[in-house]
Amino acid sequence: MAETDGPWITVCPAKKRSKRCGNPYTGIAEKEKELRWILEEEVHNILGSLYSTLKEVCRFFPMSDVKEECHVKQENFKLSATTSDAVKGVLTLQGDTLCQVDLHMKLSKQSQPLHTFFRGDKRWKMQQIQDAGNHLHLALQLVSSHDKKYEFRSGAEVNKLMESVLQQLNRARNRLTIPAAMTLPDLVNTNGAKMFNPPLPSDVLVNFYVHHNKLCLILYQVHPLQTNLNKNFKAAGGSVCHSPGAMFEYGGQKLEISHTHKVESTVSWLNQVLLYTTLALQLSQQLRDKVSVFENYWTKHY
């Protein structure tokens, strides 16, 4: 029990003083000291590691106005089938651009084998790769704008920076891991078939995209929808890979996919990009969580 000194005064035991009985400012001072150390030292240590990681991953996406070593060279990738052996070939990728596509196709038992390739004046821009690189460079710019001489004034300022960095990093990762869903009329409008010499058959649609570390090619064979099926017509929405039976309308004609052929190749440097991006995300989240502990403390107690 607590010792008493007179009938009206209660003295807290020396070993069990409550916060109310002790110095109320001691805990605040300790927390402020710890937060100041984090803002002055720990934040910059983590930002230094984050800068090094982003600097390394950005070497896979060289900017035209910056002279630095590039990790990516022009490289050929042999396609392997995931659905059939009707399509074989080699893709030549340099950075975010397909420079050449060399395909051998035999789409049906009745059709003649076809060997076709990109015309010399044609390139296919891989927008996913370009966008991912842009977001990573923006993240690097945000981090590099706060060097070791910069003095952070509060945890809220650090969190605001990390939220912006995390936004760019998530956008970069999502561009590589979540291909855009395209409608079949959109694919017709790309005129991808006309990029080849000789041109692809008029009943073939083509699309290229990235999924994680895979470079993918899809060919769709289409045919006019039978008249007696028009009453059951339902246009397909956007999709990364349309299945046989998907219907669409183009130029006043109702069409249907009869066959889908997908081939792909692993791009090792895209796997490295995803690994670096994941590491950068972890560092950014680690810093935000560490600072948020103190922000939540002030909000709850003071």
Q: What's the rounded mean pLDDT across residues 143-149?
A: 87
What percent helix, strand, coil does the chain show, rounded to 5? 45, 25, 35
Q: Is the pLDDT of residue 14 over 90?
A: no
Domain ranges of the chain: 28-65+131-176+271-301, 79-119+180-266
Segment holding 210, helix H or strand E: strand 204-211
The model's pTM is 0.83
Residue 17: pLDDT band with limits 50, 70, 90: very low
| Alpha carbons 41 and 71: distance in angstroms, whole number | 32
Q: How far apart are the first and last CA of the chain?
A: 30
Residue 16: pLDDT band with limits 50, 70, 90: very low
| Alpha carbons 177 and 169: distance in angstroms, whole number | 12
Convert the pLDDT of each residue in 122-142 to its tens digit.
899 999 999 999 999 999 999
Q: What's the rounded mean pLDDT across residues 37-41?
A: 76
CA atoms within 13 A on the CB side of 247: 13
CA angle 207, 212, 56 (to 5 degrees): 120
Mark 77-114 as b/e (b = at least 16 C-beta within 10 Å).
Answer: bebeeeeeebbebebbbebbebbbbbbebebeeeeeeb
Q: What's the rounded mean pLDDT across residues 153-163?
A: 89
Task: Name the residue among 147, 206, 122, 133 with its Cα closest to residue 176.
Answer: 133
* Number of helical H runs and strand E runs in the chain: 6, 11
CA atoms within 13 A on the CB side of 96: 20
Residue 143: pLDDT band with limits 50, 70, 90: very high
Task: Name the residue among 47, 14, 261, 215 with its Cα closest to residue 147.
Answer: 47
CA angle 263, 269, 270 (to 5 degrees): 60
CA distances from 26 to 13, 186, 294 (A): 18, 66, 16
Within the chain, residue ranges assigned H as helices are: 26-37, 43-57, 127-144, 155-177, 184-189, 268-301
Residue 30, pLDDT score? 67
Which has more confidence, 302 or 199? Answer: 199
Residue 243, pLDDT score? 94
Residue 280 carries which DSSP code?
H
How high does pLDDT run on average in the chain? 84
Q: What's the rounded mean pLDDT across residues 22-41?
A: 64
